[in-house]
Amino acid sequence: MKTKRHGAVIGLIAAGALLLTACGSDNNAGNTGAAQTTGESSSPVECGGKSKLSAEGSSAQKNAIDTFVQAYQQRCSGSDLAYNASGSGAGVKQFIAGQVDFGGSDSPLSESKGEVASAAERCEGNPAWNLPMVFGPVALGYKLEGVADLTLNGEVAAKIFNGTVKKWNDPAISALNSGASLPDKNITVIYRSDESGTTDNFQQYLEAASGGAWTQGAGKQFKGGVGEGKEKSAGVAQAAGAVDGAITYVELSFAQDNKLSIAKIDNGSGAVELNEQSVGKAIDGATIKGTGNDLVLDLGSIYGASTEGAYPLLLATYEIVCSKGYDADTAKAVKAFLTVAATDGQAGLADAGYAPLPKAFQEKLLTAIEAIA
Half-sphere exposure of 219 (CA within 13 A, CB side): 11
pLDDT digit string, tens, across residues 23-49: 333 333 333 333 333 334 457 899 999
Residue type, 295: L
Alpha carbons 304 and 315: distance in angstroms, whole number: 14
7-136+317-371 matches 137-280 in fold: yes
The closest alpha carbon to 58, from 239, 297, 315, belongs to 315
Helix (H) or strand (E) holding 206: helix 197-209
Confidence of residue 199 (pLDDT cuts 50, 70, 90): very high
The closest alpha carbon to 338, from 367, 298, 358, 360, belongs to 367
Considering the four listed CATH numbers 3.40.190.10, 3.40.20.10, 3.40.50.2020, 1.10.30.50, the one that applies to the domain covering 137-280 is: 3.40.190.10
What average pLDDT does this structure show over 287-313? 91
Helices (H), 76-124: 88-96, 115-122
Length of the chain, in residues: 373
Question: Do β-strands 228-230 and 128-143 pair in parallel, antiparallel, or remain unpaired?
Answer: unpaired
Q: Quickly list DSSP for 34-86.
A: SEE--TT-SS-EE--S-SEEEEEE-STTHHHHHHHHHHHHHHSTT-EEEEE--
Average pLDDT along the chain: 88
What average pLDDT does this structure show over 44-70? 95
Of the chain, the percentage scoring pLDDT greater than 70 comes to 88
CATH class in words for 7-136+317-371? alpha beta
pLDDT digit string, tens, across residues 210-253: 999 999 999 999 999 999 999 999 999 999 999 999 999 999 98
The residues pairing with 261 across neighbouring beta strands, listed in sequence order, are 142
What does the domain layout of the chain look like in residue ranges? 7-136+317-371, 137-280
pLDDT digit string, tens, across residues 144-173: 999 999 999 999 999 999 999 999 999 999
